[in-house]
């Protein structure tokens, strides 16, 4: 089984390709649709995601996997095919978000722990049967002078490790996502504080993964970049890249096949620039790529606007952004490439 997990992880980490995070909850996609004045219904959500998954150039050349929301994994396209089949036909791997969200942590004011372990083994069997070959679980850690506490980091890392073990048992590659929030409260922490918290979080996470016997070769890490708080942003692209790589080299074993960053709170262009700067500083022990949601979708959503006649424009916008992220995953993105498009 571990060999198969390694093969799936290797396909997900194909050079120059990355992951499309299309796993927005029903509440989140409604907020996105509100920005273009579109009602969120099962059909409109289906139409939007079908547009992305059928953008041939993007899916074939730049996307190696797609993280789905449960509804989407079981949805059919307008031509009757499962949406997951469209993803597979493009050469990408379908995946599934399996946590049930961050809930307030008892006796830890201002902190959360991610839930969803109850019944997970049975759900994973159902997802595997539906075609999912990787999964995602997100832990969210707010930063201040005192947060996150050791207890909250430990609880979230333990849940991530138990989830990862269940995934591997089911033949599914776990994406382990401990997100150190840049937009927590108050959101004015320094990049130095972010670096300290990220390092401690990753160190504890890998200790827990080892305790749960998780195979490092059959998992993917999805961390946040080391970045200053949303209200204190002043670090240069180079500083973000250097500090992020320093932390990863200290904490992430070389056996992990790949690291796919989340874009959390960054603009589309920032997320692309930071990733490219890190890859330009190689060689590195792991593949460094993207697992972006908003930073891959914003332009496509605006170009589409919920109108059938704009599907081609939406696909073009998505393909352009995916290409820019692909260049960043090779360390070859330049700001003037954006203007050229």
Residue 130 belongs to domain with CATH number: 3.20.20.70
Note the pLDDT tens digit of each residue in 33-83. 999 999 999 999 999 999 999 999 999 999 999 999 999 999 999 999 999
Find where tokens 């595997």 sit: 128
| 136 noted as active-site residue | no
For the residues 108-130, what does the mean pLDDT come to? 98
pLDDT tens digit string along 327-341? 999 999 999 998 755
Q: Which domain holds residue 172?
A: 2-340
* Per-residue confidence (pLDDT) for residue 183, from 0 to 100: 81
Q: Structurally, how many domains does the chain consist of?
A: 1
Q: What is the pLDDT of residue 282?
A: 83
The active-site residue out of 24, 177, 195, 299 is 177
Above pLDDT 90, what percent of the chain? 93
- Helix (H) / strand (E) containing 276: helix 268-279
Read off the pLDDT band of 185 (50, 70, 90): confident
Q: Which of the residues 97, 222, 315, 323 is marked catalytic?
A: 222
Would you call 249 a catalytic residue per the annotation? Answer: no
Q: Compute the average pLDDT of residues 176-203.
A: 93
Q: Whole-angstrom Cα distance, residue 281 to residue 290? A: 16
Which one, of 30, 43, 158, 173, lies nearest residue 98 by Cα? 173
Task: Quote the tokens at residue 244.
Answer: 């992020």
Tell me the average pLDDT of the chain: 96
Flag whether pLDDT at 104 surpasses 80. yes
267 and 253 Cβ atoms separated by less than 8 Å: no
pLDDT value at residue 340: 58
Looking at residue 1, its pLDDT comes to: 44
Task: Supply the pTM of this predicted model.
Answer: 0.97
- pLDDT (average), residues 294-302: 96
């Amino acid at each position: 089984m571990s060999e198969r997990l390694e093969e799936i992880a290797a396909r997900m980490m194909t050079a120059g390709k990355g992951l499309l995070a299309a796993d927005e909850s029903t509440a989140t996609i409604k907020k996105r649709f509100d920005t273009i004045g579109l009602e969120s219904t099962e059909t409109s959500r289906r139409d939007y995601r079908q547009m992305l998954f059928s953008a041939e150039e993007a899916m074939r050349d730049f996307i190696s996997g797609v993280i789905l929301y449960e509804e989407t994994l079981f949805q059919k396209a307008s031509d009757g095919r499962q949406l997951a089949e469209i993803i597979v036909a493009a050469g990408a791997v379908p995946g599934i978000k399996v946590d049930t969200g961050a809930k307030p942590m008892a006796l830890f004011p201002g902190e959360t722990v991610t839930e969803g372990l109850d019944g997970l083994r049975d759900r994973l069997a159902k997802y595997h049967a539906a075609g999912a070959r990787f999964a995602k679980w997100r832990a969210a850690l707010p930063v201040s002078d005192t947060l996150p506490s050791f207890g909250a980091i430990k609880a979230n890392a333990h849940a991530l490790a138990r989830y990862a073990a269940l995934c591997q048992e089911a033949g599914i590659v776990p994406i382990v996502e401990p997100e150190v929030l840049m937009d927590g409260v108050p959101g004015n922490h320094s990049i130095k504080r972010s670096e300290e918290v990220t390092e401690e979080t990753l160190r504890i996470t890998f200790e827990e993964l080892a305790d749960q016997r998780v195979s490092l070769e059959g998992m993917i890490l999805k961390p946040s970049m080391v970045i200053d708080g949303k209200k204190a942003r002043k670090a240069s692209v180079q500083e973000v890249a250097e500090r992020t790589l320093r932390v990863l080299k200290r904490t992430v074993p070389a056996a992990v096949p790949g690291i796919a960053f989340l874009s959390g709170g960054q603009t589309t262009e920032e997320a692309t620039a930071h990733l490219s700067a890190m890859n330009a500083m190689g060689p590195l022990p792991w593949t460094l790529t993207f697992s972006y949601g908003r930073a891959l979708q914003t332009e496509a959503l605006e170009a589409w606007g919920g109108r059938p006649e704009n599907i081609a424009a939406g696909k073009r916008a998505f393909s352009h952004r995916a290409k820019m992220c692909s260049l960043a995953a090779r360390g070859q993105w330049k700001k003037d490439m954006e203007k050229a498009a």
